[in-house]
Amino acid sequence: MGGQKNNPTQFEHGSAHPTTDLAAASPAARDLAGLLTHEDLDRAQDRWRVTRARGKGLSSKTFGGIRVLWLLVGPGVLVFLGENDAPSMLSYSATGARFGIGFFLPFVVLTFLMGLVVQEMTVRLGAVTHRGHAELIFDRFGKFWGFFSMGDLVLGNFLTLVTEFIGIRAGLGFFGIRPLVAVIAGLAVVFAVIMTGRYWTWERITLGLAIFNGLFVPAAILAHPDWHAAGHALLTWTPLPQGSRPEIMLLILAVTGATVTPWMIFFQQSAVVDKGMQPRDINAGRFDTFLGVFLAATFAIAAILATAPLFHHGIDASQFQAAQFAEALEPWIGHIGAALFALGIFEAGIVAAIAISTSSAYAFAEVLGTGHSLNRPLREAWPFYSTLLGSACAAAALVLIPRAPLEFIVLTVNVIAVLAMPPALAFLLLLVNDADVMGEYVNHFWENVAGIAVTVLLICAGLGFGLATVFPGLLGR
């Protein structure tokens, strides 16, 4: 579980309770202890906390249940708040600024429901198999598909990482911070969180950062939206807005790619494994994923509502880039509101940079068969950490290239994510329908219906975008 057992270390004082009586154990037990890694010990300690919480829950079901959820919540919330990254929040902002709230509010909710279907299967797969997604593809479908999935993911993730540092640069740029300083500050935060040497610590710090995605909520409130119109839009789903059909198709695909992307599958499954979740934890994992969907959808809708004043006042936002949204909003939501919006873009970039670079590192190390856990020190898993930190540094360097077309890059990355999703979903569906892999937790009929429906919708979205690009007159202007 969590990779190869290289560079074993001895038990250390202060580790999990099941190991504290090692001195009194049999020689065979002490020999076994010598084969365990820091990763094994840290994960055992995390599982011991869950076991103790469940034991206390027998006498106090309410408190014990909350305690268990607190210990198990993490990957689901992180994957969806990480997906509310800089390009995603800017895609939502672009829809609000260009077309208002009518069509896109319910469409955003639909995309998050699609994400919920996909990630529920991912949770089950990780909890049952105790193996990462790239590792499973490599073992079940062979080296070619293993390296294909890993290479496809790492390339897509790298392009997305570039956009995260665009968001970091732009968010801090609103406050007059120079691009070089902003990018270095972002890298410093990513490095500090990643190098904790403990999955639990990494997860809790990243969760603490991720909750600041909620800064878009007060920004939306300061925009004084028409709540009645927003509620009506959510319940009735108005037709497509007026405008250039190819542009609308691009935004629809970008918003879809802001919610459902391949890295989410790889990240959450590996995080579930790194956290040590078991089949009995699947319901808690589902709650964790649903909570992530609820929070992320709320904050995404807030970003649309916050930028809707630009649409209502007839401001042309077609060429706006990251920081320009906050600057353009200042007359309508005030300096505080604009500052909150800019900080939200910065936070979105930071959290996603942490999560996405970790996703790449998980996949790379899993396919290579080396250590791939945040519970491992650098010396035991240097390929894992080198991939993680190297991809972040390279992406940050590219962001400093002058006069890059930022918004075009942002939207294009989300489009690429949608086009890459159907193959990733095909692997996921094959694995969760494999009885040898899943046993009694194999997909049921309605779970397959939902998964196939999501796949078909994404294929149709990709085909629609392709037709609109090749034959722009087909959809009108």
pLDDT tens string 37-70: 666 676 677 777 777 776 665 445 555 578 788 8
> pLDDT of 180-204, one tens digit each?
898 899 899 988 888 877 888 888 9
What does DSSP assign to residue 434? -
The percentage of the chain sitting over the pLDDT mark of 70, rounded to a whole number, equals: 77
Residue 137 scores a pLDDT above 60: yes
Residue 474 scores a pLDDT above 50: yes
Residue 199 burial by CB count (10 A; 0-12/13-18/19+): exposed, middle or buried? buried
Query: Which parts of 94-154 are beta strand (E)?
Result: none
Higher pLDDT, 138 or 41: 138
What integer is the mean pLDDT of 330-349?
Answer: 88
Cα separation, 445 vs 449, whole angstroms: 6
Cα separation, 285 vs 288, whole angstroms: 5
What does DSSP assign to residue 441? G
How many other CB atoms sit within 10 Å of the CB of residue 278? 15
Label residue 112 by pLDDT band (50, 70, 90).
very high
CB 266 within 8 A of CB 431: no
* The pLDDT of residue 411: 59
DSSP string for 345-374: HHHHHHHHHHHHHHHHHHHHHHHHTS---T
Residue 241 scores a pLDDT above 80: no
What integer is the mean pLDDT of 111-125?
Answer: 92
Cα separation, 133 vs 271, whole angstroms: 10
CB 265 within 8 A of CB 115: no
Q: Which amino acid is at 193?
A: V
Tell me the longest C-alpha to C-alpha distance in the chain. 79
Closest C-alpha to 83, from 288, 264, 342, 273: 264
* The pLDDT of residue 23: 45
Label residue 467 by pLDDT band (50, 70, 90).
low
**Domains of the chain (ranges plus CATH)?**
75-475 (1.20.1740.10)
Closest C-alpha to 127, from 283, 1, 279: 279
Cα separation, 319 vs 407, whole angstroms: 8
Q: Please state, rounded to an integer, the average pLDDT across all residues of the chain.
A: 78
Higher pLDDT, 91 or 177: 177
* The pLDDT of residue 79: 92
20-29, 207-216, 375-384: lowest mean pLDDT where?
20-29
Phi, psi of 67 (to 5 degrees): -60, -45
Residue 256 scores a pLDDT above 80: no
* The pLDDT of residue 2: 43
Residue 339 scores a pLDDT above 80: yes
CB 164 within 8 A of CB 90: no
Label residue 386 by pLDDT band (50, 70, 90).
confident
For 2: left if phi > 0, alpha if psi spans -120 to 50, otherwise beta; the answer is: left
* The pLDDT of residue 286: 93
The distance from CA 329 to its chain's CA centroid, rounded to whole angstroms, is: 27
CB 352 within 8 A of CB 164: yes
What integer is the mean pLDDT of 402-430?
Answer: 72
Kindly compute the dihedral angle of the four CA atoms of residues 330, 334, 338, 343, in this order, to the nearest 10 degrees.
160
Q: In residues, how long is the chain?
A: 477
DSSP string for 407-426: HHHHHHHHHHHHHHHHHHHH
Label residue 380 by pLDDT band (50, 70, 90).
confident
Closest C-alpha to 316, from 257, 244, 232, 379: 244
What integer is the mean pLDDT of 174-185?
Answer: 88
Label residue 117 by pLDDT band (50, 70, 90).
very high
Here the tokens at position 296 are: 């992320």
* The pLDDT of residue 466: 61
Residue 185 burial by CB count (10 A; 0-12/13-18/19+): exposed, middle or buried? middle
CB 259 within 8 A of CB 112: yes
* The pLDDT of residue 13: 34
* The pLDDT of residue 7: 39
Here the tokens at position 378 are: 């650098």
What integer is the mean pLDDT of 325-338?
Answer: 82
Element (H, E) at 143: helix 143-173
Higher pLDDT, 450 or 411: 450
What integer is the mean pLDDT of 259-276?
Answer: 87
Residue 210 scores a pLDDT above 80: yes
Cα separation, 140 vs 149, whole angstroms: 13
